[in-house]
């Protein structure tokens, strides 16, 4: 079983980065050459970059009408220099929104680890690479670190909103991103583990309550929150702040919290924001309209 502790211990023993350990394990478990694995991850990074660009289109709108255009607003503000926390933070938020909006509009994305949380890792990695003038290879290797953290979470808990709530999707993606950018900025394997733990415990208990059952409200804006959380966790880890609860124990806690959640808060659109008056009205307008269309099409 993959654990964060196991990844860190192997990396420290061999004097390598977490990404090197994950790449080596993938090579051994699948028999795929490292060069092929790296090439595949370069392609993933390319798709992430494309989905950011597509999502930044100010005219982009989802079929439901619930989303589209917000990323362009955020990116414009970030580039103007007027946003509260500077261009790095603003661009990261914009890209998280962009990829999520691209997904809502049926664009091509990398589910990292899920479609509902697809904006967090690309936003964190691409913005760090751009703003810190890092080579593309650094970003690609960081995606392996993220993958290793994702595997540990998937095996120790869940990355499914239907099983564990949004903590399992946005929370997992945020933890993956935090570890990835910590490594990109020269953090040790242990720092990456602490970044993962802090990011994940910050959203412990986050419910999955999609309005009308669509991956738009509140999912898209939670992706922006997820990358903000990842940046905060990485920043803390890089200055030596540690999580008092080890990453693997946080993952176990997340599993137990997810198991205790009622079904209404696990992707069923029966609770939380989906059950608010506005949430129900939007669902009726969207789903009711589709039912009417089907009735009219029936011969």
Domains of the chain: 4-297 (1.10.4100)
Q: What is the mean pLDDT of residues 256-284?
A: 98
pLDDT tens per residue, range 125-149: 999 999 999 999 999 999 999 999 9
pLDDT of 100 higher than 50? yes
**Residue 288: its pLDDT value, please?**
87
pLDDT 10s digits, 69-91:
999 999 999 999 999 999 999 99
pLDDT at position 146: 98
pLDDT at position 298 is 44
Which whole number is the average pLDDT over 228-256?
A: 98
Please check the confidence at residue 292 and state whether its pLDDT lies above 50: no
What pTM did the predictor assign? Answer: 0.95
Closest to 282 measured CA to CA, from 208, 211, 187, 234: 211
Give the model's pLDDT for residue 4: 98
Nearest partner of 19 among 148, 136, 188, judged by Cα: 148
Percent of the chain with pLDDT over 70: 96
How high is the pLDDT of residue 247?
98
The alpha carbon of 25 is separated from its chain's Cα centroid by a whole number of angstroms, namely 23
pLDDT at 297 > cutoff 80: no
């Amino acid at each position: 079983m993959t654990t964060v502790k196991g990844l860190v211990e192997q990396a420290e023993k061999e004097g390598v980065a977490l990404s090197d350990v994950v790449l080596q394990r993938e090579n051994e478990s699948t028999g795929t050459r490292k060069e092929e694995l790296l090439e595949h991850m370069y392609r993933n990074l390319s798709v992430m970059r494309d989905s950011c660009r597509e999502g930044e289109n100010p005219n982009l709108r989802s079929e439901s009408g619930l989303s589209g255009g917000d990323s362009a607003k955020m990116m414009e503000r970030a580039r103007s220099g007027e946003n509260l926390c500077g261009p790095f933070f603003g661009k990261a938020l914009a890209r998280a929104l962009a990829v999520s909006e691209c997904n809502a509009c049926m664009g091509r994305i990398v589910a990292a680890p899920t479609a509902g949380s697809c904006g967090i890792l690309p936003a964190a990695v691409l913005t760090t690479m751009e703003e810190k003038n890092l080579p593309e290879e650094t970003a690609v290797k960081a995606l392996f670190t993220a993958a290793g953290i994702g595997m540990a979470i998937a095996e120790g808990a869940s990355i499914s909103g239907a099983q564990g709530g949004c903590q399992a999707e946005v929370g997992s993606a945020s933890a993956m991103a935090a570890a990835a950018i910590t490594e990109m900025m020269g953090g040790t394997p242990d720092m990456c583990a602490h970044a993962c733990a802090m990011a994940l415990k910050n959203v412990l208990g986050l419910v999955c309550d999609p309005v009308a059952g669509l991956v738009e409200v509140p999912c898209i804006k939670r992706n922006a929150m997820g990358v903000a959380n990842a940046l905060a966790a990485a920043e803390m880890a890089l200055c030596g702040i540690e999580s008092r609860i080890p990453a693997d124990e946080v993952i176990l806690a997340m599993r137990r919290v997810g198991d205790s959640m009622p079904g209404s808060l696990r992707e069923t659109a029966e609770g939380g924001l989906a059950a608010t008056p506005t949430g129900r009205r939007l669902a009726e307008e969207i789903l009711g309209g589709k039912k009417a269309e089907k009735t009219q099409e029936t011969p």
